Amino acid sequence: MAVTFDEFNFNRQILNAIADAGYTEATPIQQKAIPPILNGQDVMGIAQTGTGKTAAYVLPIIMKLKYAQGDNPRALIISPTRELAMQIEENVKIFAANTDLRVVVLYGGLGPKTQIEQINQGVDIIVATPGRFMDIYLAGHIVTKTLQVLVLDEADKMMDMGFMPQINRILEVVPVKRQNLLFSATMSDKIHELSNNFLEYPTVIEVTPQATPAQTVNQHLYHVPNNKTKINLLKKLLDQEGDITKLIVFCKTRVAAEDVFKFLQRKFGENEVRVLHANKGQNTRINSINSFKNDEVKILVATDVASRGIDVSDVSHVINFDVPVVIEDYVHRIGRTGRALQSGEAITFCGPAEEYYLKKIEKLIKQSIPVSAIPDDVFIEETGYDERQEQNKEIDMQKRKEDPEFKGAFHEKKTLNQRKKFDAAKEKARYGKAGKPGSKSKSPRKKR
């Protein structure tokens, strides 16, 4: 049964802002999380991206704070990446549009001067990445004693990125008496440990089983022998998929992302595609996201730095050019489509050395991804020597991960060559230039 936002205890300013943003029905995470958060309880939410969890905590925070007050922050939202921090700030601005609440976003990648100036002008809600928050706090520009609410969003990603020391320091400098909200896509042992340190008798909300893809995403898998064939298949899919209105292509490395970007640029022209990865400057990344959001470009090529934090509701397709090595990122990647109750398509290309991670992903999501045959008119390239060697090395490494005793075909071949070289060197050292044992060495004749 549909639940509307009118059924929550929101004031007219917030309800009008929700209506202006085009939202009518609350998502399951919003239905379950908003009442206890409004009630002041600590909440732990297990929810993947694209389920509406940002609004689930932002709306009650705005309701709690109501209007601008004093100069110091009363709510702090910590997120793992600058892209997600910017997305959260945008949500706060949309839902607080009819109030005078002030929000400041803090992230690295550019100088802190402007951010410090914004804080000094007075702030109610700070959205920040952990490192930049601590930098500005330690420089003496943030007063934390007025904080009433602390949110850790995408807590599992913060664990993966090694932010635990910064989070522990943040917990040391905020008031003991506060409301705590923790959101994570997965429920790992580390998250359990963090929740025990952080939350007081929390209300635990789980809207989907752990790391389960959204029901609105149709998943497809192609087994592809090499990167050149992946490019050929990508071209074919883009030629035949007339219903691709907005596409994100995910790659596991910056080099792969650049290669795919250049290919798509040649095919569609410079004005149709953007690329997003860690080597790009801050302004370039922001411009790429905005161009994609505002329908100025149809295709965004990205590494996993962008798999969380791009809140675009009408992405029709996601193509995983590479299978992610961090298997949880699969859920976050395909969660870019099928958002806000719309349907979406997620297509994955899997090479021979990626099947190891694919099996782990299928185990994580508790389902097999349906396999499609490569269309007959896609040219299947020969795998080059260097790429084949890389694949064999990777497969050997994976087998050694599972079985430390495993030596591997690649390892044995290498060892055999090393043994031959070693034997030759030993023989040379033993007999010098005289040759093999049994041969007569002639001593040079003296000149008379």
The domain ranges of the chain are: 5-206, 217-382+397-401
Query: 321: Cβ–Cβ under 8 A, 6 or more apart, which residues?
Result: 230, 234, 249, 250, 251, 256, 260, 349
154 dihedral zone (left: phi>0; alpha: psi -120 to 50; beta): left
What pTM was estimated for this model as a whole? 0.59
CATH code linked to domain 217-382+397-401:
3.40.50.300
pLDDT at position 336, please?
Answer: 79
- Inter-residue contact 184 to 156 (CB < 8 Å): yes
Name 248's bridge partners: 300, 318
User: What count of Cα atoms within 13 Å lies in the side-chain half-sphere of residue 119?
Assistant: 23
- Residue 315 neighbours by CB under 8 Å, 6+ apart: 246, 247, 248, 336, 337, 339, 344
DSSP type of residue 308: S
Comparing CA positions, the residue from 7, 55, 8 lying closest to residue 27 is 55
Give me the residue label for tokens 């997600």: 84
320, 349 contact by CB (below 8 A)? yes
Contacts 24+ apart (CB under 8 A), 130-134: 130/78, 130/80, 130/158, 130/163, 130/166, 130/167, 130/170, 131/163, 131/166, 132/106, 132/107, 132/108, 133/76, 133/78, 133/106, 133/166, 133/170, 134/166, 134/169, 134/170
Phi-psi region of 385 (alpha: psi -120 to 50; beta: other; left: phi over 0): alpha
> Of 3.30.390.50, 3.30.70.560, 3.40.50.300, 3.90.1170.50, which CATH number belongs to 5-206?
3.40.50.300
Place of tokens 């994609």: 292
The residue written with tokens 């007959």 in the block is 376
The per-residue pLDDT for 441 is 45
Question: Would you say 252 and 303 are in contact if contact means Cβ atoms under 8 Å apart?
Answer: yes
- SS3 percent helix, strand, coil of the chain, rounded to 5, is 45, 15, 40
Helix/strand/coil for 355: helix
Q: How far apart are the first and last CA of the chain?
A: 116
Compute the Cα dihedral for 168, 277, 227, 367 and give only its sign: positive
Q: CA 297, CA 207: separation in Å to the nearest integer?
A: 33
Q: Quick check: do 5-206 and 217-382+397-401 share a fold?
A: yes
Contacts for 410 with CB less than 8 Å, ≥ 6 apart: 389, 392, 393, 396
pLDDT of 340 reads: 61
Q: What is the pLDDT of residue 137?
A: 96
Per-residue DSSP letter, 447 = P
pLDDT of residue 294: 85
> With left for phi above 0 and alpha for psi between -120 and 50, is residue 166 left, alpha or beta?
alpha
Across the chain, which has 448 residues, the per-10-residue mean pLDDT values are 84 92 84 94 83 90 94 96 88 93 92 94 96 95 96 88 89 92 82 82 77 76 96 92 85 90 90 78 74 88 68 84 85 77 86 94 89 94 93 88 68 57 69 51 47
DSSP H helices, 272-377, are: 282-293, 328-334, 355-365
Angle (CA) 261-84-296 rounded to 5° is 45
Q: Which has the closest alpha carbon to 98: 3, 6, 21?
A: 21
